[in-house]
């Protein structure tokens, strides 16, 4: 077997190792091979993207970003902590009061020092 034939065989073996056959079930369900699910971190309930390609369908893990939902207290902390000077800080305190919160009870950073919440 010549060098070219060995390279061709290696290429075919490599291509075969990266493909696995699955069967489409009811409602279009596709069972993904366990080896691929483990490799790409796909678990039951994981989101995947089905992408149309010229030569078929590419199924890949979806990237998701966590979203933090801020409580009124956390929003007040941001407002108070981001004041740039004393005048701005006083406006921030008023904004927090308008939210129905006591600015003295919100832990926040204030002009080069941490202001702990009062209990």
Indicate whether 77 and 58 sit together in one domain.
Answer: no
Tell me how crowded residue 82 is: count the other CB atoms within 10 A of its CB. 12
Indicate whether 39 and 57 sit together in one domain.
Answer: yes
Indicate whether 78 and 110 sit together in one domain.
Answer: yes
For residue 92, is it within any domain? yes
- Model pTM score: 0.43
CA torsion angle for 69, 72, 73, 77 (degrees, to 10)? 80
The domain that holds 52 is classified in CATH as 2.10.260
pLDDT in tens, 85-104: 889 999 999 999 999 999 99
For residue 104, is it within any domain? yes
pLDDT in tens, 60-90: 898 877 788 899 999 999 999 999 888 999 9
Q: 10 by DSSP, 3-state: which? A: helix
DSSP type of residue 106: S
Domain region containing 109 = 72-115
For residue 2, is it within any domain? no
Tell me how crowded residue 96 is: count the other CB atoms within 10 A of its CB. 23
């Amino acid at each position: 077997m010549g060098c070219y034939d060995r390279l061709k065989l290696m290429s075919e073996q490599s291509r075969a190792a990266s493909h696995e056959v699955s069967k489409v079930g009811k409602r279009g369900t596709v069972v993904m091979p366990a080896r691929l699910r483990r490799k790409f971190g796909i678990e039951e309930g994981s989101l995947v993207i089905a992408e149309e390609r010229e030569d078929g369908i590419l199924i890949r893990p979806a990237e998701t970003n966590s979203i933090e939902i801020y409580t009124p207290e956390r929003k007040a902390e941001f407002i108070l902590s981001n004041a740039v000077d004393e005048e701005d800080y006083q406006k921030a305190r008023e904004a927090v009061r308008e939210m129905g919160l006591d600015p003295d009870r919100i832990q926040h950073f204030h002009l080069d020092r941490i202001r702990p919440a009062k209990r």
